[in-house]
Amino acid sequence: MQEIPDDYAPEPLGRPEADLSDPTWGELLGLTWSMELNIGEDDPVDPVMLHVRGSGDDVLTPVFRLAEALQRKVIDCAEGNLITPGQTSGWHAFQQFRDRLPDSSR
């Protein structure tokens, strides 16, 4: 701690903005990604489908935080498997596929 100057002010890490004005369909916005949360109308909520767009692996952090908070597992729909933090192959494969499409929006 002695090496850190007294006037050091780190850049903000960023914080996703959440819009849950529609309780059945939420949205989280990060710096380089967006995530829609298809929550549905069932009470109690059973599955939650996440629709992730954008780029960068930082989107995976809120995905796993949501899963942990809801005591659920994460399924990578691109590969059809359960995934754990640090597994990025399906997300990277999706981004590579998307980037090959004409007029792909990120």
- Smallest Cα–Cα separation from 25: which of 39, 46, 45, 41? 39
- Smallest Cα–Cα separation from 36: which of 56, 48, 61, 44? 48
Which pLDDT tens digit goes with each residue over 31-50?
A: 889 999 998 998 888 888 99
Inform me whether the pLDDT recorded for 12 exceeds 60. no
Which pLDDT tens digit goes with each residue over 58-85?
A: 889 889 988 888 888 898 887 788 888 8
Strands across the sheet with 49-54, in order?
17-19, 25-29, 33-38, 49-54
CA 4 to the chain's CA centroid: 32
Whole-model pTM: value is: 0.72
Q: Are 104 and 98 in contact (CB under 8 A)?
A: yes
